[in-house]
Structure formats: C-alpha cells, structure tokens
C-alpha cells in the first residue's frame, strides 16, 4: 500500500507531502492545479521515463519519494517498508534509490512492479511486465523461487570472497608480479627523509652554479674585509671606526654596543664567506648524482603519489597486499570446493524450477483461454512461453481472433501503446 508521496520542484509543485491511509483517496482540483503531476510523480518513482521540462522553473532538480508498506511474514509486525526515490536534474541523467541505496533506474520498475497498478488509456498495467508474468505463473503453479534466489546469493558471496583474494590463480600471479615490482622499486629508493627533495633542490642549485656562487662570496668578503687585505674602506673597518668615535662619550653607550654587536655579526659572516671561497669546489660527479636522485624520486611520485609521504604509504599498502596474496592460494583452494558445491546447488534449483514452470505453462494458458471465452472472445488463444536456465524468461502470448498468430501480451493488449 502506498502510504506517503513526497514531491519537490516538479512542474507547478514546489513542495508536496501526501500521506495516504487505508481505503479510497480521491484528489480533486481545478485544471492546472497539478493533479496529473501527482500521478506523473508516482510513475517517476516507479522508474517511468523522465520527460524534458519536468523540473520546476528555477530549480536544479526535481525529487520524488514514494513510501510503501508491504506484507512480510519474516518481520515482527508482519510488514515492512519499501522506499523508492528518484532525482531528475534540469540537465543530465536522473538518479534512483531503493530503500536508501543508490540503484539503476530500472531497479525502481523491478521493485515497484508489484506495488502499484496505474490504469489509463495509454498506460501499461503491471501484468504486461515480464517480472509480473513470471510471478503470476509461479503463483499459479505454486513455485517457490526462494531456494533459487538463495543459491544465487550464495554463489555471488563465494565469488566475492574469491575476488577479494585476487581472482583466480593466474590473476593472483599477475597481481603478485606487479606488486613485487612496485614494492622492490620503492624499497630500493630507500626513502628515509620525506623532505629530501627540498634539500636536493638546494644542493643542485649550489652545485650547478658553484663558480658564480664562489665569485659572489669573494666579492662580498672583499666588501666586508677590504680587497687589499687592509680594513681601509671595508665595512668592518668603517664599523670599527664608528664605534671608536662614540666609545668615550656616555650618551652614546647604547649605540656603541650595537655597533660592536654588528661588527661581531659581520665578522661571523666574513668567516662563513671565506669558508665558501676556500672550500667550495666544482663537483660534477656529485651534481650528476643529485640530479639522478631527483629524477628517481620524481618518477616514484609520478607513479605512486603526489608526495614522498604518499609514495611511502603506497609502498606499505602494496607490501601488505603482497603478503595477503602469497597466502591466498591455500584459501582459494578451500573456497573453490565451496563454489563447486554452490554451483551444483544452483543447477539443481534451476532444473527444478524450470521443470515446474514448463509443466504449469500449458495449464495456465488453458485456464486463461477459458476465461477469455467467458469474456466473449471464443476464438482467442492464450499461451505461456518459458525460457532460460531456470525459466526466468516468461512471456504471455495472446492471439485475440481466429487465424491470428499469438503475440506478446504487451503488443496486443488494448490501451498498451
């Protein structure tokens, strides 16, 4: 039973919540009030085609949600809720949800096929849907499809376990080879410092232009200490003379101290610059090694992560996955035995249900033909076609008049097109 219909931004409907109780509910209103849109909203929730221009002007998307209560013998109160929802954007593809989980739009029609019949001159009834025809045949024959569904579910679960192990033995072997290469490549790089690239950039800059760096240091040292070895005109000499000029005058004591502190700082700078001038030497081998290391780390980042930290994380995860796969063969052998048993169970369920559906198909066709004769269609023929491994493909065929070939019910039913 439909208990609630919520509609937002569909045509003239801005926001509507319609709660329905037992019994008959009638909607009335003036032309253009949106009565037809309520039915269209329900059709959308059941997987109907979303026509262009349905979204309310100025809105980004229309939202439809239909809530049903259906019988369920397994629940404590004998019923359960089914919620079907649909989002229709102003542009792009629509989205669907069944009980809050994302699903294909077609899943709405499958889930809602037995919940609603919409009767109209040009609307198909639920009996025209293949799923409803299969359900009708099962109900007539007393077929319980639950064992088949359970066998399929069990096989899917086993396949899921195998997939998490890495597929079959060949797939696992291929994945092991790839993972081993990745782990070895990252491990061989011996990434210890995650900030190593910054230090390498600084070192490469120094080595690549070392002669110019050394010349600049020499020029700065000459400015500090004097080019001819004397302090005449040098920065240190000038500071020393300035401090001496103020030293004997108490009002300038603080400034004298600052000049002497600056002299000490510049003396330290001069020592560092002298070390650069005297010890920095061209080292093409080291420069080549630094550049090669940078290329290697850059290649790892290109493959495994934007930063060295991400590369290290990828390596750890790949190593863990590799360990899992190395022990997967034994587990796969156990699961393979379970899968073979599950396949036998599924095959037996398919054979049993296929036989029951095929046995019942002529009887259902004959019974339906008898009813058609009661409806003043004495020459009508009704047949039930069953196909598929478990007879899951069921079609109702109707020849309405003598001499006419039987055709799918969806083609010949009045008002179905």
Residue of 302 and 228 predicted with greater confidence: 302
- The answer to whether the beta carbons of residues 277 and 215 sit under 8 Å apart is no
What is the CATH number for 16? Answer: 3.40.50.300
Nearest to 314 by CA among 306, 322, 323, 305: 305
Lowest mean pLDDT among 31-40, 61-70, 140-149, 177-186: 31-40
Lowest mean pLDDT among 88-97, 304-313, 328-337: 328-337
Lowest mean pLDDT among 242-256, 339-353, 400-414: 400-414
Residue 132 lies in a domain: no
What is the rounded CA–CA span in Å between residue 371 and residue 375? 7
Range of the domain at 251: 208-306
How many structural domains compose the chain?
2
Which pTM value belongs to this model?
0.40
What is the Cα 302 distance to its own chain's centre? 23
What's the pLDDT score for residue 168? 66
Lowest mean pLDDT among 30-34, 168-172, 350-354, 400-404: 30-34
Give residue 166's pLDDT band: very low, low, confident or very high (50, 70, 90).
low
What is the rounded CA–CA span in Å between residue 85 and residue 40? 13
**DSSP element (H, E) containing 184:** helix 169-188
Indicate the DSSP class of residue 404: P
- The answer to whether the beta carbons of residues 263 and 240 sit under 8 Å apart is yes
Residue 354 lies in a domain: no
**In 3-state terms, the chain is what percent helix, strand and coil (to 5)?**
55, 15, 30
Show which of 306, 332, 356 is a domain's final residue: 306
pLDDT at 176 over 90: no
Q: And the tokens for 334? A: 């156990």
What's the pLDDT score for residue 124? 47
Nearest to 147 by CA among 338, 349, 342: 349
- The answer to whether the beta carbons of residues 121 and 312 sit under 8 Å apart is no
Residue 106 lies in a domain: yes
Q: How far are the Cα atoms of 189, 194, 295, 317, 357 from residue 311, in angstroms, in the given order?
A: 11, 10, 14, 10, 58
Residue 180 lies in a domain: no
Show which of 76, 96, 116 is a domain's final residue: 116
Quick check: helix, strand or coil at residue 383? strand
pLDDT at 401 over 70: yes
What is the rounded CA–CA span in Å between residue 108 and residue 120? 20
Give the position of tokens 């600052």. 258
Cα of first residue to Cα of last residue in the chain, in angstroms, is 27
Q: For helices 196-208 and 210-225, what crossing angle results, to 10°?
A: 80
Q: And the tokens for 347? A: 């095959």
Residue 111 lies in a domain: yes
- The answer to whether the beta carbons of residues 383 and 367 sit under 8 Å apart is no
Q: How far are the Cα atoms of 28, 48, 108, 328, 373 from residue 118, in angstroms, in the given order?
A: 17, 11, 15, 53, 26
What's the pLDDT score for residue 415? 43
What is the rounded CA–CA span in Å between residue 7 and residue 45? 10
Residue 28 lies in a domain: yes
Residue 131 lies in a domain: no
Q: What is the pLDDT of residues 105-163, one digit of tens each?
A: 888 888 877 788 776 554 445 677 888 889 999 999 899 999 999 999 999 998 887 77
Give residue 231's pLDDT band: very low, low, confident or very high (50, 70, 90).
low
What is the share, in percent, of the chain residues with pLDDT greater than 90? 30
Show which of 83, 116, 149 is a domain's final residue: 116
What is the rounded CA–CA span in Å between residue 229 and residue 342? 95
Residue 59 lies in a domain: yes
What is the rounded CA–CA span in Å between residue 145 and residue 66? 27
What is the rounded CA–CA span in Å between residue 265 and residue 259? 10
Counting Cβ atoms within 10 Å, is residue 282 exposed (0-12), middle (13-18) or buried (19+)?
exposed
């Amino acid at each position: 039973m439909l208990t609630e219909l919520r509609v937002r931004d569909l045509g003239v409907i801005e926001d509507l919540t319609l709660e329905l109780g037992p019994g008959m509910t009638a909607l009335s209103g003036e032309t253009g009030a949106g009565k037809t849109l309520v039915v269209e909203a329900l059709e959308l929730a059941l997987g109907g085609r979303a026509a262009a221009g349905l979204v309310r002007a100025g809105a980004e998307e229309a939202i439809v949600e239909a809530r049903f209560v259906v019988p369920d013998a397994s629940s404590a109160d004998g019923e359960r809720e089914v919620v079907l929802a649909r989002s229709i954007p102003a542009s792009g593809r629509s989205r669907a949800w069944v009980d809050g989980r994302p699903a294909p739009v077609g899943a709405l029609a499958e889930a809602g096929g037995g919940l609603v019949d919409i009767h109209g001159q040009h609307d198909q009834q639920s009996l025209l849907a293949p799923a409803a025809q299969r359900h009708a045949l099962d109900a007539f024959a007393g077929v319980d499809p639950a064992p088949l569904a359970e066998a399929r579910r069990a096989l899917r679960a086993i396949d899921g376990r195998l997939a998490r192990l890495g597929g079959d033995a060949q797939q696992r072997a291929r994945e092991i080879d790839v993972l081993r290469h990745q782990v070895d490549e990252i491990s061989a790089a011996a990434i210890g410092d995650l900030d190593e690239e910054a230090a390498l950039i600084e070192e490469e800059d120094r080595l690549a232009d070392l002669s110019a760096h050394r010349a600049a240091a020499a020029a700065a040292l000459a400015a500090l200490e004097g080019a001819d070895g004397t302090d005449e005109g040098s920065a240190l000499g000038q500071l020393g003379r300035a401090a001496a000029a103020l030293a004997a005058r108490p009002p300038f004591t603080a400034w004298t101290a600052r000049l002497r502190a600056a002299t000490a700082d510049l003396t330290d700078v001069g020592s560092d610059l002298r070390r650069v001038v005297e010890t920095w030497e061209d080292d093409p081998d080291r420069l080549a090694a630094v550049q090669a290391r940078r290329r290697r780390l850059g290649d790892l980042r290109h493959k495994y992560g934007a930063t060295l930290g991400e590369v290290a994380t990828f390596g750890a995860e790949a190593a863990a996955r590799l360990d899992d796969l190395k022990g997967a063969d034994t587990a796969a052998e156990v699961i393979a035995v379970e899968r073979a048993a599950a396949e036998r169970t599924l095959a037996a369920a398919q054979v049993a249900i296929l036989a029951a559906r095929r046995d019942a198909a002529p009887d259902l066709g004959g019974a339906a033909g008898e009813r058609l004769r009661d409806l003043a269609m004495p020459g009508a023929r009704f047949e039930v076609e069953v196909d598929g491994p478990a007879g899951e493909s069921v079609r109702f065929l109707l020849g309405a008049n003598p001499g006419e070939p039987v055709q799918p019910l969806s083609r010949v039913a009045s008002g179905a097109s």
